[in-house]
Amino acid sequence: AVAGPDMDLFGDLRRMNKRQLYYQVLNFAMIVSSALMIWKGLIVITGSESPIVVVLSGSMEPAFHRGDLLFLTNFHDDPIRAGEIVVFKVEGRDIPIVHRVIKVHEKGNGNIKFLTKGDNNEVDDRGLYKEGQNWLEKKDVVGRARGFLPYVGMVTIIMNDYPKFKYALLAVMGAYVLLKRES
């Protein structure tokens, strides 16, 4: 009888001693903690709570398409200007929105209010803001687009649209790290 790939996987697990298994688990933990440290470092460097975001809709086409990966900064000393692309969060919505600033109102005391609109949308974003809110303030801004990679974020969209794919991908990656042998 021919052994299938499943039998081979379990055979590898049985042959692995406890020391090897602990080593592989620590390797996996090191990879995860390194990724978290890099993410936290990016947050500090960029001043943005979310330095990298994926465009989830077509509201900013042709500037950005669904699946584009945006790199953000959020330095509070930089003034917000009309024409700039910002990522903002409004009360009552979980997902940040990527749109362009179309109007800015600056008061003498330094208080700034602004209005946004998606390039591909017919109307401004007042309908997206919380009820009774007509303008955004600096506190609503998560970041400002400084660069992008086209379509790199499609993997994120696929994982959100198809949760089974996400779990299968995580299982394959976890099994690879745990079963990978050092040469």
58 and 147 share a domain? yes
Is residue 183 part of the annotated active site? The answer reads no
User: If you count DSSP H runs as helices and E runs as strands, how many of each does the chain have, helices first?
Assistant: 4, 7
Q: State residue 106 phi and psi, 5-degree precision.
A: -110, 130
Catalytically annotated residue among 8, 77, 94, 99: 99
Is residue 99 part of the annotated active site? The answer reads yes
Q: How far apart are CA 61 and CA 58, in angstroms?
A: 6
Three-state secondary-structure class, residue 109: coil
Q: What is the pLDDT along the chain (183 residues), one digit of tens a residue?
A: 455 555 555 566 566 677 777 887 888 899 899 999 999 999 999 999 999 999 999 999 999 999 999 999 999 888 899 999 999 999 888 889 999 999 999 887 878 999 999 999 999 999 999 988 999 999 999 999 999 999 998 988 888 888 888 888 888 887 887 777 654
Whether the CB-CB separation of 67 and 107 falls below 8 Å is answered with no
37 falls within a domain: yes
Q: How far apart are CA 162 and CA 45, in angstroms?
A: 33
What's the domain range around 36? 13-46
Catalytically annotated residue among 48, 68, 125, 140: 125
118 falls within a domain: yes
Q: How far apart are CA 182 and CA 179, in angstroms?
A: 10
CATH (domain of 72): 2.10.109.10
**pTM for the whole thing?**
0.74
61 and 125 share a domain? yes
128 falls within a domain: yes
